[in-house]
Chain A
């Protein structure tokens, strides 16, 4: 095949939804393989590797994001059902929840507010644009919900998705170090804080370190999803009109 044939073949293939879908799964499989190889080092996050690989491929071939998304939307669609499915792991924590409900509820609301308020104030003080502020505000909750919130308060969902993933990686890599420095020893408190501040990526990390920490992290992540989704949009519209 000469070069024109290859170009024509790519033009044909890139217009098929199958290509975007296949690229997504292959890139993630490569990312996940590297993650396993690195002994599950949070810096080798499979999502980040997959995004980087696909972004480079799109750039190298000059394919617009919209064309890629025609195929990738089938994966993207599953975010909604997966969010609903979070009810199941949350339900498994019912016993823990019952034992210390007021403390847990207060902790989640506190963490949710500190995470979003400190984000907005800091980014605002450093001169971020209003769309960037709205995109950053829900960065500590799991991606699909954060994107929904960002869309509602005037942010850019794509920017939110990237910031949420980066938040998870920061929390999972630097979080345990900073909590050691603060002499925090209670696994329950440490896991809980990981889940509140850095959602699923933090929870995955907490489970690797200690099972109690993982369970509390999962619980905090699930409840924080609810707390943030139920408070931030209302607060935002109330404060900024």
Chain B
């Protein structure tokens, strides 16, 4: 478990260093994600300790958003000033992006197999 967490941290540290060194706008952890993904593709069969460590980190992924979310208390004035554009973007843009992406994918993906479509009595 320690080795797996160490590996994850090494990937992140590498990402942070690369991002800083080359002044990239991509967050360090995303570069770490790519590094680990490429590593898994090369290794093909990832060690169970690593997948367990990752699953444990992700099982309550949403808990990790709480401290940043509480930061909303420092943004009340901005929310009051810009409430209309924020609400419109949150609702309209999100649903627009979702419907257009779903339409595009339902046209482009190979024909659905049995059980992959809503019409199959699900």
Contacts and interface: CB of A to CB of B under 8 A. Distances in A.
Nearest to B30: A229
Contacts of A88: 36, 40, 46, 50-51, 54-55, 58
A85 B71 CA distance: 25
A50 B66 contact: yes
Contact of B119 (A86, A123, A136, A185): A185
Contact of B105 (A24, A118, A192): A192
Contact of A147 (B15, B68, B119): B68
Given A84-B33, A87-B54, A132-B82, A47 B69 contact: yes
Given A127-B85, A158-B75, A179-B99, A186 B116 contact: yes
Contacts of A184: 99, 102-103, 106
A132 B86 contact: yes
Given A86-B54, A140-B97, A230-B26, 12 more contacts: A82-B57, A82-B58, A83-B32, A88-B51, A100-B110, A119-B89, A123-B85, A136-B89, A152-B27, A193-B97, A193-B99, A197-B94
Q: Interface range on chain B: under 10, 10 to 19, 20 to 34, or 35 or more?
A: 35 or more
Nearest to B43: A91
15 contacts: A55-B72, A81-B12, A86-B33, A88-B46, A127-B84, A139-B90, A158-B71, A162-B69, A162-B75, A170-B95, A171-B94, A174-B91, A175-B94, A189-B109, A225-B33
Given A81-B8, A123-B88, A184-B103, A65 B71 contact: yes
Contacts of B90: 139, 163, 166-167, 170
Given A80-B12, A226-B30, A91 B109 contact: no
Contact of A131 (B9, B78, B110): B78
A169 to B, nearest CB: 9
A79 B9 CA distance: 11
Contact of A111 (B30, B101, B109): B101
A152 B25 contact: yes
A111 B57 CA distance: 27
A156 to B, nearest CB: 7
Contacts of A89: 54, 58
A129 B82 contact: yes
A126 interface: yes
Contacts of A15: none
A186 B98 contact: no
Given A80-B28, A84-B12, A179-B99, A46 B62 contact: yes
A152 B110 CA distance: 38
A7 interface: no
